[in-house]
Every structure is written in structure tokens, then in C-alpha cells.
Structure 1
Amino acid sequence: MRVFRRSGEVRTRTEPPLGFTDHDSRTHFSDVAGLDHIVAELRDLVDYVSDPGRFERLNARPPRGILLHGEPGCGKTLLARALAAEINVPFYFVSATSFVERFVGLGASRVREVFENAAADAPCIVFLDELDAAGRRRSDGDGDREFDHTLNQLLVDLDGFFSAPGVVTLAATNRPELLDPALIRPGRFDRKIRVPLPDLDGRLAVLRLHAATRPGAADLDWATVAAKTEGRSPAELANLVNEAALLAVRARCEAVRWVHVELALERMDAWDVVH
């Protein structure tokens, strides 16, 4: 588990067993392209911790949990990293796979440890990546008892009745259909946000964002590239721009040219054939 904190913030508590690392995230909402509507949803959390009185005057409580779901590479973890930089509270980054253990009681104790430390740091954000690893739907027959203990502990700690005030949970999964219904009900995850593949305008925004840090020749037309990359994720588009830059370096060019982008597109298509 990792904790993201603002630079200069001092922690006086003893390091917990899972191991915490202070990290100053350099990714902000301005570094997220094509997902403006989702950024707007997450700004509720930023606004709440910066000015909770505005919410309290209307008796409006922020969502206790937000579930981000969508295809791999669409920006779920990127959004969490950006939130870490935007919000001025401790940010706990936890992979749900770290809860999955075969030893009796260990998975449940790790869940308790995360939320106990988060409660001591409240207000704070807990980000659970790959939630389906620990929150998959329980079977009707004899299941994995240790897995059930871990999931039950997670249900208890996420429940609005038992959870500590000021602890907001953000989670991500590529497979929301695998999650247990009890886990994703309101009160545990009040808001479920699908992170979609970018549309034409979104793809163009992503391409321009990553191209902005690389010298480009006058013949580059990212609008044409956006039109040719329908169905591509932001991660694939970022890799495309970087691949074009690597090809320009190999050709000893001072700027990325259209020929390098075309070669990068061919490589992307060839990779699809391999898979």
C-alpha cells in the first residue's frame, strides 16, 4: 500500500506493516484528456475536502464510494493519480490483490489494517485498484472460506454505518460484472462511473496532449490520426505517439514527422494481428 501526500507534510505515526511510501504525484486533472465529464464528477471530492461547510449547509454528503469501471487503458488509475495531486489529504493506493491470501484471516486483517490507518488519517481517500480481485461475486455453493472472510471484512469497512467519517473510497475494475452485488450497492459505492473509450474529439485531445511535449514537423495532422484510431484506448494512443518519437530518434530526425506516425500506426495494427 502506498500513501500519497503533499510535499512538506509530516507524518508522526509509526509506519504500518504493509509499508507506506510518500509520493508527490505530478499528474493533475490538466494531464487527463478526453475525460472532462469524469473529472467533473471527481471534483466533488476535491471541493468537499477544501470546503466541507458548503456541503454541510445543504446537508449534502459527498459519495462515500466511487467505482470507476471500463476497458483496460482508459485512464482509471490515471484519474486516481490526478486526484491524489489535486486533493490536499492523504491518498492511500492499494491493490486489491494484496488482500487475496490463502492463509486464514490474513486477507481480512489486511483490509482492517488499511481502513484503520485511513480512519486515523481522515479526511483521506482510499483507492482500491483491481477491485474484482477481492470483491468478486460469491457462489451459491461451497466457496473459498478465506475469500469470503476477506470480502465480508471489506463489506463491513465500506459500509456507511460502520466506516469512519471523512474516508472516501475510490475503486477501479475492468470487470464490474464480476463484483458481488452487496459490494457495489449504494452506501458502499454511491456513484458508479463508466470510463469509456474516447470518441473522436477525445482521441484528438489525448494525441495532442502527448504530442505537446515532443517536437513535431509541419506535416503532422493529429486529426487524421484520431480518425484512424477508432476504438483505441488512451494508453494505446499515448504509446502510439511515443512509438512515433522513438522512430524519429532512430532516423536521427530533430522532429516527429508524418512518416514516423504512419509507421507507428502500422506497428499498432500488426500488434493487433499478433493478439
Structure 2
Amino acid sequence: MIATESLFARWSASGLVELGDVHRFKFGAETYHEVSCSPSQLLVYLSDCRSPNSKSEAMAFATALRDTRAIDSESSLQGAVYVEKLSRILPTYETAAPADDGIVLGHWLTGGAQISAESFQPLRQMLTWIGSAALREVIKTAGIELVDEGAPVGANKVAHLPPSAHQKTSSPENPESSEQNAKRMAGVELGKTFELSGRSELEAFFNEHIVDIVRNKERYSALGIEFPAATVLHGPPGCGKTFAVEQLVGYLGWPCYQLDASTIASPFIHETSRKVSEMFEKAMQNAPSVLVIDEMEAFLADREAGGGASHHRVEEVAEFLRRIPEAAKNEVLIVAMTNRVEMIDPAIMRRGRFDHVVAVGYPDEAEVAALLAKLLAALPQDQTVDPAPLAKALAGRPLSDVAFVVREGARLSARAGSDMLGQEFLLAALAAAPSRSGGCSERRVGFV
């Protein structure tokens, strides 16, 4: 691994790495720091991790997490780099929303599922390679407190509620146990609607077609609706598709699996189909769960469009055609995303596989105002702050632009020595973020 001088300086200042741990060298006018490990030691980017092969690997990571937190208790470890040789997890200080350490450990243990290590039972059901006692030891070694070792997160809340149409109880007529029902409802706030700031129409769709069906399973089941149907979200880059799905997954509290070109694409014949099959199997084994298909046009493009060169895609698309209905019957919620819906194979897009195809455009003024209100509410601000002109200027632009303006405004405020966000800094941030839809006027950045 090679780190820039500025990144190494942050690690060194926090005490995570010492100069003797690395090899320092120059490339041109720049200084870099190299960290190397032996073939038997892991050095991996956590976003691309695979699950451990043994308890000892899991314990080594848990120890590194504990040791890292003893030195740096604040930095987010989402997207960090695990260096087994140093027993450290080195943050990359990304601007993405941070995940707590339970999510970081759960993501590592499962090889990519967004499930917290605090939720013991769902995690245990996913990890067939390690026993219960060993898993508890790993979690406690990492310094993570189990919410409830005998039930999944959210189980206590559900179990203490009186029986209702929203909750099933054990009986001869109703064999589903309260524990199974708790698992189904884990993370879903009974009586509270799912909220998606800045995307009111998509919020309403999720509440009607997914959340309400999950919450009122008995009522829908009596009418032949067993589980929410698969959905495709399509729209231009930056319209908020990924953010919306992440919010839904977090709200449901189910294990989440992701299929995208970077995780399943392979140049070897049959390998991609095998990976697709394995991911569907994992999701079904740990149902109820969510399977997210990202950038689906990359591997589900129309088989007829490529002529003879697309013969290798026939097997891959056929695997999806077979698996999607099967997964829905086994309580796997499938949500796919694409920027090029016109490229998708028609056999994939027909009803019965994806019942809902939802267009997600750029937000209007009201939606931008709602997102601004949520983002600004979390920051100290003075009386000059007025989101109305910002919402008007940012309407029709990617949600990432909205988040950038608030983040950049906060940075400018801090740089000016202010401990409160002011309107002048937000307007300055807006001026520094012109729309890129009609050509870019951004700064040029060079990479080695």
C-alpha cells in the first residue's frame, strides 16, 4: 500500500502509524510512504473485503479494531484499510456518511453484508463457519456490546407489544414463532412511516409498496400478496437512487447483499453466473433480506443488441431470469438500479420479475428544501441562514450538489474562524459549485 504524505501525516499525528512502520520514498517532487505485508498477512481495503476463513483471522481483525479504537476513537472506519501486520485499521477520511463499528465488523465477518455485529442472532445465522461461542468472543474482543445475545435487534420492542394486525403470535393456528416475527420486523419502527428527505414521491412509493406490506403481512397474505415485489429505480446519475436504497435498507434492518459489475463480473466462462447464483443463495438463506442490483445495465443488457459477441451474456441473463422469482418467493426484497433502463433485456424487465419500474428524476425545489432542512438541522447556525434561495438555485440538480453546498459552507465557516454556519458561507459554497449538466468548469486534478 502506498499513501500520500498528507494521509500518512494524519495517521502519524493520531498515533496510528509510526515512521518506522513504513518505507518513505520520493516520486518526482512528491513524498510517499509504503506499507508492505508478507503473503500470509492481510492488507485490504474494507469496501472490497471477503469474509474471514477462520476464527483466527476474525480474531486478528477484532483485535485490530479494538487497538485502533484505543488510539483513535473518533474517525470513521468505513472504507478504511486493514493492515494485519500493524494490527491497525487505517481510516481514509472519506466524506461518505460514517458507519458505526458494529457495521464495520459485521461487514467484515459476512464479506459485505450491511448488518451490525451488535445483532447477534441474524449475524450468527449468516456465519456457518464459526460457532456461537467463538462469534461472541470475536465481537467482545472488538469491544462491541451485544444488544441482546438471544434475539436480533428490535426483538424486544416487538415482543413487548400487544398482539395486533401488525404482529403475529405463536399458536396452533399461527405456527410462526414470536422470534421469527421479530426477525421479520427487526428495524421497522411499528406505527412510524419510512422517511426519505428530499424524495417525497419515492418515500410514498416505498411506504406503500414495501413498508406497509412488511408491516401488515397477515392482511396482505390473506389477499395473496406474500411479499413486496421486485423494483427497478432508473434515472440520471446523482438523482438519489443509491441514497434512497441505503435509507430503506437501514430502516428495514435486514441483511443486505449487493450485486454489481465489480463484485460478480468475470472474464471466465460460467464464473459470473456462479457468483450470481451464490449471492442469491446467500440472500435466501438469510431471509428476510435485501438484494441490491446496482448498475444492472452492465450485466443485464439486451441479449439481442450485441449480436454474436453477446453469447456469453445469455447464460448470465438466464440465471437472473430463474433466480428473481425464486428469491421473491423466499422473502428476498430485490431492488435494482440503472442509469440506462432502455438497455436492459426485455425479459428481465417484464412484470412478474420486476413489477415496478420507477423513474427517479432530479429533485424539485420542495424536495431540495426538505433535504436542506434535514442537513442544516444537524449543524450550529446563526440567524442569517435562509435555505429558500439555496433550494431555488439547487432545484433540478443532483442531491449530491445539495450535500456539497452544506458541507462546503460548513468548511468555509470553520476556516473563517466561526463556530456557527452563516448564510454568506452557504452562498459562497453555492457559487463554488456551478451546475455540471451543461459542461464542466471544475478544477483540474492530476494523479500519479
Q: After TM superposition, is the score higher than 0.5? A: yes
Shorter-normalised TM range: 0.7 to 0.9
**Structure 2 counterpart SS, 1:219:** coil
| Residue 199 (structure 2) aligns with | 35
Residue 36 of structure 1, CA deviation: 2.3
Say which is worse superposed, 101-110 or 207-216, in terms of deviation: 207-216
- The answer to whether structure 1 residue 274 and structure 2 residue 446 are counterparts is no
Corresponding residue for 1:108?
273
Structure 1 portions without partners, runs of 5+: 16-21
Contact 1:64 1:167 in 2 (8 A): no
Is the deviation greater in 184-193 or in 71-80? 71-80
1:30 Cα deviation after fit = 6.3
Amino acid of the structure 2 residue aligned with 1:152 = A
Q: Which residue of 2 aligns with 1:247?
A: 412
**Structure 2: which 5+ residue stretches go unaligned?**
1-110, 130-138, 140-152, 154-186, 443-448
| Counterpart Cα distance in 2 of 1:31 and 1:59 | 27
User: Matches of 1:155 and 1:103 in 2, distance apart?
Assistant: 21
2:234–2:340 contact (8 Å) kept in structure 1: yes
Partner of 2:354: 189
Amino acid at match of 1:99: I
- Distance apart, 1:170 and its partner CA: 0.7
1:196–1:32 distance in 2 versus 1, CA, 3 Å: same
Q: Do residues 14 (structure 1) and 128 (structure 2) align?
A: yes
> With CA pairs under 8 Å and 6+ residues apart, which has the higher RCO, 1 or 2?
1
Distance in 2 between residues matched to 1:266 and 1:135, nearest whole Å: 40
Q: Who is 1:5 aligned against?
A: 115
**1:270 positional shift:** 7.8
Identity %: 27
With normalisation by structure 1, the TM-score equals 0.86
Aligned length: 266
Matched residue type, 2:441:
V
Whole-Å separation in 2 of the counterparts to 1:84 and 1:119? 16
Residue 214 of structure 2 contacts residue 227 of structure 2 at CA under 8 Å; is this kept in 1? Answer: no
Residues 238/37 of structure 1: CA separation in 2 closer, same or farther (3 Å cut): same
Question: Does the 8 Å CA contact 1:68/1:171 hold for their aligned counterparts?
Answer: yes
Match for residue 256 of structure 1 among 417, 421, 438: 421
- The aligned residue for residue 175 of structure 1 is 340
TM-score scaled by structure 2?
0.55
The yes-or-no answer on 1:154 pairing with 2:268 is no
What code does the residue aligned with 2:239 have?
Answer: C
Highest Rg: 1 or 2? 2
Query: 2: distance between equivalents of 1:216 and 1:161?
Result: 51
Counterparts of 2:311 and 2:415, CA distance in 1: 55
The equivalent of 2:135 in structure 1 is: none
Q: CA deviation at 1:99?
A: 2.3
After TM superposition, give the deviation of residue 116 of structure 1 in Å: 1.2
Shift of 1:50: 3.6
Q: Deviations over 1:133-179 (max 9, x none)?
A: 11112226202333332222112211x36864312211111111111
- Check whether the contact 1:214–1:256 (CA below 8 A) recurs between aligned residues: yes
C-alpha separation between the residues in 1 aligned to 2:310 and 2:402? 40
